[in-house]
Amino acid sequence: MKKANTVIRILVGAGMVFFGLTKFVPSLMMDLGEMPEDMNTWNAGVAATGYLMYLVGAVELLAGISFLLNKFVPLMLVVLLPVMLNAFLIHAFLDPANIGGAAVFLFLNIFLMFQHKEAYQSLLKP
C-alpha cells in the first residue's frame, strides 16, 4: 500500500503543478471545446476579480510541489481540499460533462487524507 500511496501522491502532485501553472500560463490548458453558458458566466465573474484564479493557481502549485517533495503533505491536503471540492461542485452544477478530472482529484485528495489520518487525530479530538 505504501508504493500505491507514493504513486498517487506523485500523480496528484504533478497534476496540481500542471493545473496551477495553467492559471498563470493559460496557453498550457487544453481546449475543452464549447462550455455551457453558466460556466462562461462563472469564468467571467472569477476573471473580473483579478486575483482569484491566481490565488487558486498558487495554492495548487504550492500543494503540488509539496506532494512531489513529500514535505508537509498532510497540511497541503487540508489546504487543497476546499479547492478540489469547489472544482468538483462547479462542474457538478455548471459543467457536468467535464466533471471527470475534478472528481478524480477530489477522490484522490480524500484518499490521501485517510492515509495520513494519524496527522489529523489531535485536530479532531473533542
DSSP string, 52-91: HHHHHHHHHHHHHHHHHHTSSHHHHHHHHHHHHHHHHHHH
Read off the pLDDT of residues 48-96 as tens digits, 9 standing for 90 and up.
Answer: 999 999 999 999 999 999 999 999 999 999 999 999 999 999 999 999 9
Rounded to whole angstroms, how far apart are CA atoms 113 and 1? 14
pLDDT of residue 19: 94
Please name the residue that has the C-alpha cell 480524500.
110
pLDDT of residue 35: 85
As a 3-state breakdown, the chain gives helix, strand, coil percent values, each rounded to 5, of 80, 0, 20
Rounded to whole angstroms, how far apart are CA atoms 10 and 65? 9
32: pLDDT strictly greater than 90: no
Q: Judge whether 95 and 118 are in contact, CB under 8 Å.
A: no
